[in-house]
Homo-oligomer: A and B are copies of this chain.
């Protein structure tokens, strides 16, 4: 056991493997969100990430496991803004802020939104437990806050589930259906004026519904 150290392989920067995994996840998001799970090939993803197919399979054991890894990452980002709805906030401010963040995500992470959309539309085979467990609980908690505000007369009576779905539907539409929005209006969220219009329109819609305008 003497003489260890000399024969050791070149040591790259620590966490280099982690960076490589991240690169693969980024590339996979790109591709999966454009052509779906079945339309993507490992080869294609590997090429975009700058490594070989075989090498990619060293980091992720199968295409499906890579896909799920990307999905989990996306879901975390996607759920994050909802946490900012707190019982002790001013309802109008909190909702304005939430809507702005959601539209911001549609602008800054449209691929994440699209991948999530593809998975849900196709039945969420690989995400079902996440939806029925953590997501359901989170929505229930936030619905409780909305009901509380309504009971205190701070916002108009309404169905909190439908309200939340409405916010999701409208804000994500500008990412998921960006192709259509652009075909019809010639504009997209990367245009700052269009972004602000979209935020304002959605805020007016929701706050109006709750008697906050």
Summarize A's interface: helix, strand, loop or mixed. helix
Q: How far is the CA of A95 from the CA of B159 in the complex (A)?
A: 21
Q: Would you give 14 A-B contacts (Cβ < 8 Å), ordered by A?
A: A34-B122, A35-B38, A38-B38, A117-B117, A120-B176, A120-B179, A121-B121, A131-B179, A131-B184, A132-B183, A162-B197, A162-B201, A165-B174, A204-B209
Known: A161-B184, A205-B209. 11 other contacts (CB 8 A): A35-B38, A36-B36, A38-B38, A117-B117, A118-B122, A121-B176, A121-B177, A123-B179, A136-B183, A166-B202, A168-B177
Whether A169 and B180, one on each chain, are in contact in the complex, defined by CB atoms closer than 8 angstroms, is no
A42 proximal to B (CB < 8 A): no
- Interface flags for A134-148 (1: CB within 8 Å of B; 0: not) read 011001000000000
* Pick from B120, B162, B177, B181: contact of A198, CB under 8 Å: B162
| Chain A interfacial positions (CB closer than 8 Å to B) | 34-39, 114, 117-118, 120-124, 128, 131-132, 135-136, 139, 158-159, 161-162, 165-166, 168-170, 172-174, 176-177, 179-181, 183-185, 197-198, 201-202, 204-205, 208-209
Q: How far is the CA of A197 from the CA of B172 in the complex (A)?
A: 22
Q: How far is the CA of A166 from the CA of B103 in the complex (A)?
A: 13
Knowing A118-B122, A122-B118 are in contact, say whether A161-B183 is a contact too (CB < 8 A): no
